[in-house]
Amino acid sequence: MTITRRAAIMASIAAPFVVPRLGFAQRSSPTSAPDPGTFFNEWSYANQQIHFNVHKSKTARAITIANESTLIMFVAGQSLALSIITDTFTPTNGSKIDNYCWYDGKNYVAANPLIGAGGDEHNFNLKIADGLISNGKFARVILVPVALSGVTIQYYVSDAYKEIVAAAKKLAAQGITTATPNVKFLVKWNQGESDTRDGTTQQQYTDRFSALYGLVSPHLPGAKWMVAKETRYIGTNSAAIQAAQMALVNGTTIFAGEDMDSIPDSSRNPDQTHLNATGGNSAATMGIAAISAITF
């Protein structure tokens, strides 16, 4: 039986610490390994090597910040934030949408699949970036994917927050921080399915998000966060995690994101978890509206 890359990634939500290696054998290793200080454990190193190889088909672009309103959007969370939606999309504003990679600290023209996280297909966050430019919210959007397949919020607290920090440090080394004129930062949080599976309580989720926020904020002082209502796992939502996610919203530093749980199973794959093209469009529409409502 042949197992595709997509199938391996989809399956990983049920096994959060298993690297979706199957199907990637045809890609060669990078010619030179990046600074090992970037990595925080063997699992992530192997996983990101896979995504680093995708760079071979990407076009580099200067990260220089011009005199234009720019959003740097970290796309964090789990598999719904990966490039795993079967769809086709070419952004209208492609010359103004970038894909910054936390792995090597380089900037690329944004195109599906996005690099820095998993998947070989479409990422609905590219549509969000395009929509934010089309509606005049920003003139340029730089996407920084840092999502990981199948992980819990505790895993971000224990290890994966370092992807966000690595990107922040590399941007700072290139002169781009939350104090840079014309630049706004957003950490977009799309996570919760694995915690539904594990029975995480409202208090546990709240405490773990607070810990994550505390680990990241010193490196992105003043950055806004956006938390989606996102818990649906195999057709079941978690009222406890939904309550935690919505209670995190304060309207000043943390804002409400997409209501991913409102997307019906008819707009999802047969696993009743991941999104199909219709669900991806719904998520993008909600994301554009949510970010457009934020005062940066």
pLDDT of residue 58: 87
pLDDT in tens, 73-94: 999 999 999 999 999 999 999 9
CATH superfamily entry for domain 5-22+37-292: SGNH hydrolase (3.40.50.1110)
pLDDT of residue 118: 81
Where the chain has pLDDT below 70, the residues are 1-56
| Rounded (10°) CA dihedral 7, 9, 13, 19 | 120
CA-based nearest residue to 188, from 267, 114, 93: 114
| Rounded (10°) CA dihedral 153, 186, 82, 64 | -140
- Name the average pLDDT for the chain: 85
Domain boundaries, the chain: 5-22+37-292
Strands of the sheet with 97-101, listed across from one edge? 106-109, 97-101, 140-145, 70-77, 183-190, 224-229, 254-259
